[in-house]
Chain A
Amino acid sequence: MKTITFNQIKTSSIALEFDEVIPDNIYTWDNSDFDAYQVPIGNSRFPITDFFDIVIEGEAESPAEVKMVLNGDYGRVKYIGCKMSAGEIIVNGNADLHAGAEMSGGKVTVHGNVEAHAGREMSGGKLEIMGNTKEFCGASYIGEWRGMTGGEIIVHGNAGKQCGECLTGGSIHVLGDCDILAGIHMTKGVIEIDGNVNRWPGGQMKNGNIIIHGKVGRLLEGFVEQGIVTDPEVQGKVYPGKYIEYKGDIALNGKGALYIDAEKNRDRLSTWIEEDDEYNAIRVYREQ
Chain B
Amino acid sequence: MSYEPPVTDYDYIVENCTCAFCGCNCDDLDFLVKDNHVVAVRHACRLGASKVMEDLDQRLMVPMVRNEEGVLTETDWDTALDTAAEYIANSIRPVFYGWSETSTECMKEGLELGEYIGAVLDNQATICHGPSLQAMQNAGYPIQTLGEVKNRADVVVYSGSNAMNSHPRHLARWAVYPRGYFRQRGRFDRTVVTMDPKFSDTAKCSDMWIGFEQNGDYGFYNAIRAVIKGKKLQSESVSGIPAEDIYELVDVMKNAEFGVLFFGLGLTHTLGKQRNIDIAIKMVQDLNAMSKWGLTPMRGHFNVNGFNIFMAFETGWAFGVDFCRGWGRYMLGETNTIDLLVRKEPDCFMVVAADPGAHFPNGANQHLADIPVIQVDIHWGPSTELADVVLPGSFISVECAGTSYRMDGVPIYMKKAIDKPETCRDDEWIIRELKERVMKLREETNVAEKYVPNPIMDLKRLEKEE
Direct contact of A and B (CB under 8 A): yes
* Interface of chain B: mostly helix, strand, loop or mixed: loop
Which chain B residues numbered 51 to 96 have a C-beta less than 8 Å away from chain A? 91-94
Asked if A151 CB lies within 8 Å of chain B CBs, one says no
Which chain A residues numbered 88 to 146 have a C-beta less than 8 Å away from chain B? 97-98, 116-117, 135-136, 141-143, 145-146
The size bracket of the interface on A is 35 or more
A135 in complex: contacting residue of B219, B238, B282, B333, CB < 8 Å = B333
- What A residues does B134 contact at CB under 8 A? 142
- A42 x B93 contact (CB < 8 A): yes
- A200 x B333 contact (CB < 8 A): no
- Determine the distance from Cα of A13 to Cα of B345 in the docked complex, in whole angstroms: 6
* Known contacts A14-B93, A221-B233: A204-B272 contact under CB 8 Å: no
* Known contacts A142-B330, A142-B331, A221-B219: A42-B118 contact under CB 8 Å: yes
Which chain A residues numbered 32 to 85 have a C-beta less than 8 Å away from chain B? 40-44, 76, 78
- Determine the distance from Cα of A184 to Cα of B222 in the docked complex, in whole angstroms: 12
- Determine the distance from Cα of A221 to Cα of B283 in the docked complex, in whole angstroms: 14
Instruction: Write the B219-234 contact mask toward A (1 if CB under 8 angstroms, else 0).
Output: 1001101101101011
Asked if A149 CB lies within 8 Å of chain B CBs, one says yes
- A142 x B137 contact (CB < 8 A): yes
A146 in complex: contacting residue of B222, B234, B464, CB < 8 Å = B464
- A185 x B445 contact (CB < 8 A): no
Q: Of the listed stretches A189-197, A235-243, A245-253, A256-264, name the one at the interface; the rest are far from the partner chain.
A: A245-253
Asked if B325 CB lies within 8 Å of chain A CBs, one says yes
Which chain A residues numbered 205 to 234 have a C-beta less than 8 Å away from chain B? 218, 220-222, 224-225
- What B residues does A204 contact at CB under 8 A? 222, 278-279, 282
- Determine the distance from Cα of A180 to Cα of B325 in the docked complex, in whole angstroms: 33
- A283 x B219 contact (CB < 8 A): no
Asked if B151 CB lies within 8 Å of chain A CBs, one says no
Asked if B138 CB lies within 8 Å of chain A CBs, one says yes
> Closest CB-CB distance, A16 to chain B, in whole Å?
11
- What A residues does B272 contact at CB under 8 A? 180-181, 200
* Known contacts A14-B345, A221-B223, A221-B233: A97-B333 contact under CB 8 Å: yes
- B275 x A40 contact (CB < 8 A): no
Asked if B344 CB lies within 8 Å of chain A CBs, one says yes
> Closest CB-CB distance, A163 to chain B, in whole Å?
13
- A143 x B93 contact (CB < 8 A): no
Which chain A residues numbered 6 to 29 have a C-beta less than 8 Å away from chain B? 13-15, 17
Asked if B235 CB lies within 8 Å of chain A CBs, one says yes
Asked if A203 CB lies within 8 Å of chain B CBs, one says yes
- Determine the distance from Cα of A237 to Cα of B23 in the docked complex, in whole angstroms: 54
Closest to A162 in B: B275
- What B residues does A252 contact at CB under 8 A? 225, 229, 282
* Known contacts A180-B271, A204-B282: A43-B92 contact under CB 8 Å: yes
Closest to B325 in A: A40
* Interface of chain A: mostly helix, strand, loop or mixed: loop
- Of residues A42, A76, A136, A146, which shows the largest number of chain B Cβ atoms within 10 Å of its Cβ? A42
> Closest CB-CB distance, A237 to chain B, in whole Å?
24
Closest to A218 in B: B219
Asked if B119 CB lies within 8 Å of chain A CBs, one says yes
- B225 x A251 contact (CB < 8 A): yes
Asked if B446 CB lies within 8 Å of chain A CBs, one says yes
- B275 x A44 contact (CB < 8 A): no
- Of residues A40, A43, A225, A270, which shows the largest number of chain B Cβ atoms within 10 Å of its Cβ? A43
> Closest CB-CB distance, B129 to chain A, in whole Å?
15
- Of residues A14, A98, A146, A249, which shows the largest number of chain B Cβ atoms within 10 Å of its Cβ? A14
Asked if B35 CB lies within 8 Å of chain A CBs, one says no
- What A residues does B137 contact at CB under 8 A? 142-143
- B92 x A14 contact (CB < 8 A): yes
Closest to A121 in B: B464
B222 in complex: contacting residue of A13, A14, A135, A221, CB < 8 Å = A221
- Determine the distance from Cα of A78 to Cα of B340 in the docked complex, in whole angstroms: 13
Which chain B residues numbered 319 to 342 have a C-beta less than 8 Å away from chain A? 323-325, 330-334
- Determine the distance from Cα of A42 to Cα of B348 in the docked complex, in whole angstroms: 11
- What A residues does B219 contact at CB under 8 A? 199-200, 218, 220-221
- A43 x B94 contact (CB < 8 A): yes
Asked if B422 CB lies within 8 Å of chain A CBs, one says no
Asked if B399 CB lies within 8 Å of chain A CBs, one says no
A221 in complex: contacting residue of B234, B323, B332, CB < 8 Å = B234
- B93 x A249 contact (CB < 8 A): no
- What B residues does A42 contact at CB under 8 A? 91-93, 118, 324, 345, 347
- A203 x B330 contact (CB < 8 A): no
- B218 x A200 contact (CB < 8 A): yes
Which chain B residues numbered 275 to 290 have a C-beta less than 8 Å away from chain A? 275, 278-279, 282, 286
- A136 x B332 contact (CB < 8 A): yes
Instruction: Write the A169-205 contact mask toward B (1 if CB under 8 angstroms, else 0).
Output: 0000000000011001100000000000001100110
- A78 x B334 contact (CB < 8 A): yes
- Determine the distance from Cα of A225 to Cα of B218 in the docked complex, in whole angstroms: 20
> Closest CB-CB distance, B364 to chain A, in whole Å?
15
> Closest CB-CB distance, A220 to chain B, in whole Å?
5
- A251 x B229 contact (CB < 8 A): yes
> Closest CB-CB distance, B223 to chain A, in whole Å?
4
Closest to B326 in A: A43
Asked if B465 CB lies within 8 Å of chain A CBs, one says yes
- What A residues does B231 contact at CB under 8 A? 221, 224, 250-251
- A-side interface residues toward B, CB under 8 Å? 13-15, 17, 40-44, 76, 78, 97-98, 116-117, 135-136, 141-143, 145-146, 149, 162, 180-181, 184-185, 199-200, 203-204, 218, 220-222, 224-225, 249-253, 270, 283, 286
Given pairs A220-B218, A220-B223, 10 additional interface contacts (CB within 8 A) = A42-B91, A43-B323, A117-B334, A135-B333, A142-B137, A218-B219, A222-B222, A224-B231, A249-B222, A252-B229
- 16 example contacts (A-B, Cβ-Cβ < 8 A) are as follows A42-B91, A43-B119, A43-B323, A44-B92, A97-B331, A136-B332, A142-B332, A184-B275, A200-B272, A221-B234, A221-B238, A222-B225, A251-B226, A251-B228, A252-B229, A286-B236
The 4 closest A-B pairs by CB, nearest first: A43-B118, A251-B225, A143-B137, A42-B93
